Every structure is written in structure tokens, then in C-alpha cells.
Amino acid sequence: MEIFAQQIVNGLVLGSIYALVALGYTMVYGILGLINFAHGDITMIGALVSLTLVQLLAAAGLPAPVVLGLAACGAMLVCAALGLSIERVAYRPLRRAPRLAPLITAIGVSILLQYSAALVWGKQYISLPSIIEPVRFTLFGAQMTLLQATIFLLACTIMGGLLWFIKASRMGRAMRATEQNPDVAGLMGVNTNTVIAFTFLLGSAIGAIAGLMVVLYYGIGHYFMGFMLGLKAFTAAVLGGIGNVAGAVLGGLLLGVIESLASGYIGDLTGGVLGSNYRDIFAFLVLVLVLVLRPSGLMGRHAGDRA
């Protein structure tokens, strides 16, 4: 039972990271109907920027909370700027193009980001100096660290904040209007370009936070880390219903738990035929099943109200 509880905790934390990344996918998809495949790599840039900042600032002897705060701000700024420029350069010119075109540029941008990062940071694994002493405690028999709890709460808080923002703020209303019909929203005086740019900015900044969390959690960064993370987060977004903010978080958490349980128990269930190295299969098996059985995802609206 203790082990089961531990696996659930592992899964929830892993899932929270997926959820943070998935928010970026889902927001952009909600507004533009575009799958921004570069989002995983924006997260990677956020992770590496914060890693470098932590390394530099910790070496300068600043206290840990200041280091983390500055690293988070720095990474968010870089990623927000990156998100804005990618939207301006790679997606806006193609907004009226067939749907396949922006998808291809998205993949192009993703590769561009990966190899630019490889040029800047090199192709080796970069390690994070340990700046915070992990605080460990036990919850329902499962070992947790304060960082794990923070990651989980952060994912929930950001989701809550986003839901409130979209529902209650002026910009949020503009976002909803753009989502329903960009042309009509434009006629009603909504500057859709600003709204879309803002969506990218916000999604990328959340991606930067996710990157910082990954770096803090695993203590390691790498130019290729955004690829698998992006795919998993995309799967999470689809699972929850792409375009739906709460769905992205639900999908992320669910995917994390499924993966964690799968790699914990697959060896025993298959009598050792499949090992825990097959756990990625489960993420994508879930993706296939969702697409076949419930294409709009767990919390998604029915497709078709947006042509």
C-alpha cells in the first residue's frame, strides 16, 4: 500500500510537469487551432536559461530564494520574448494558409530551437548545483520532498489563475471571443493580433516555469530534453481535451499516474516479458485510445463548432 501511494505521488508530480507544459499547447490550440510543436523546446530553453542563471547567481553567493526568483524571472522573460518572436515570424504570416503549413513551420522551429540550444549550451548533460537542501516528509506512507509538493501546487495554482483570468479579465474575454471566431471578434473591436501574441507570451512564460521545475526536480538539463517532454505534454493536452485549460491539467496528472503505475507494475503483470523501459508505450497507447474512442478528449467540447 505504501508502495502504491508512493507510485501515485510519483505520478502526480511527473503529471504536474506534463500539465504545466500542456497548458501552453492547449492555450495556443484553443485560440488558433494550431499545434505549436515548438512548445516543448520553448520549455527546454526555459530550463536551460534558468539552469545557467542558477549556476551564475549561486556562484555569486546570493541566497537561494533570490537565485530561484531571479532565475524564474529571467527564464520567463527569455521564453516570453521567444514565444512572441516565433509567433510573429513563423506563424502569423501563415495564419490564412492551409492548416498543414503552420504545422510544418512549427516542426521547423522546434528543430531550430534544439540545435540553437546545442550551439549555445553544447550537447552534453548540464547539471544543476544543489542550492536548496531537499526538505523531506512522509504523506500517507509516501516519501515526498517540499519541491514535489510545490510543483503539484504550482500546476494547480497556475491552472486556477488561468481559468479565472480567461473568465473574468478583459483580455480573457477577448481571448474567448477570438477563440469562437477571430473574424467576428475583429469586427467587434478585438485586436486579434494582440490577443494571439499575448496567448503565446503567456503560454511560453508558463513553459519557462515548467522548465525551471524540471531542472530543479531532476537536476539535469540537455538540449534534447524538450522533445519527449513536448510529446508527452501534447498527449496530456489531447487526453484532457485540447483547447481546454482544466482538461490539460487533468490530462497531465492522469498521464503521469498512468505512466508511473505502468512502469511500476508492468514487469510483474507481464511476468517479466515487458520491462519498465516500455513505459513510454503507455503514454502513446493512451493517445491512440483517446483519439479513437473520444477524439475531443475527456473534457473537450465536441469538435465542429469552429470551422
Using rule CB under 8 A, residue 265 touches another protein: yes
Q: Report the residue number, 31 or 53, with the smaller CB distance to another protein.
A: 53
Q: What minimum distance in Å lies between the beta carbon of 76 and another protein?
A: 23
Using rule CB under 8 A, residue 275 touches another protein: yes
CB 302 within 8 A of CB 296: yes
Write down the residue that cell numbers 542550492 correspond to. 131
C-alpha cell of residue 138 = 512522509
Using rule CB under 8 A, residue 124 touches another protein: yes
Using rule CB under 8 A, residue 10 touches another protein: yes
Q: Report the residue number, 55 or 193, with the smaller CB distance to another protein.
A: 55
Using rule CB under 8 A, residue 115 touches another protein: no
Q: What minimum distance in Å lies between the beta carbon of 15 and another protein?
A: 11
Containing H/E element for 201?
helix 192-218
Write down the residue that cell numbers 525551471 correspond to. 212
Interaction mask 12-41, another protein, x per CB under 8 A: -xx---------------------------
CB 222 within 8 A of CB 126: yes
Q: Which segment (20-28, 31-39, 104-112, 129-137) binds another protein by CB under 8 A?
A: 129-137
Q: Which segment (32-40, 95-103, 189-197, 270-278) binds another protein by CB under 8 A?
A: 270-278
CB 227 within 8 A of CB 39: no
Q: What minimum distance in Å lies between the beta carbon of 51 and another protein?
A: 12
Residue type, 204: S
Containing H/E element for 150?
helix 146-168
CA–CA separation, 64 vs 71, rounded Å?
Answer: 10
Using rule CB under 8 A, residue 123 touches another protein: yes
C-alpha cell of residue 219 = 537536476
Q: What minimum distance in Å lies between the beta carbon of 47 and another protein?
A: 11
CB 207 within 8 A of CB 158: no
CA–CA separation, 152 vs 231, rounded Å?
Answer: 20
Write down the residue that cell numbers 503521469 correspond to. 256
Q: How many residues interact with another protein (rule CB under 8 A)?
A: 39
Interaction mask 276-295, another protein, x per CB under 8 A: xx-x----------------
Q: Which residues between 206 and 245 bind another protein (CB under 8 A)?
A: 218-220, 222, 225, 228
Question: Under DSSP, is residue 139 helix (H, G, I), strand (E, B) or coil?
Answer: strand
CB 231 within 8 A of CB 255: no
Q: Report the residue number, 112 or 126, with the smaller CB distance to another protein.
A: 126
Q: Report the residue number, 3 or 285, with the smaller CB distance to another protein.
A: 3
How far, in whole angstroms, is CA 9 from its chain's centroid?
19
Using rule CB under 8 A, residue 271 touches another protein: no
Strands 136-139 and 126-127: unpaired
Q: Where along the sequence are the contacts to another protein (CB under 8 A)? A: 2-3, 6-7, 10-11, 13-14, 122-125, 127, 129-130, 134, 136, 143, 145, 148, 218-220, 222, 225, 228, 259-265, 267, 272, 275-277, 279
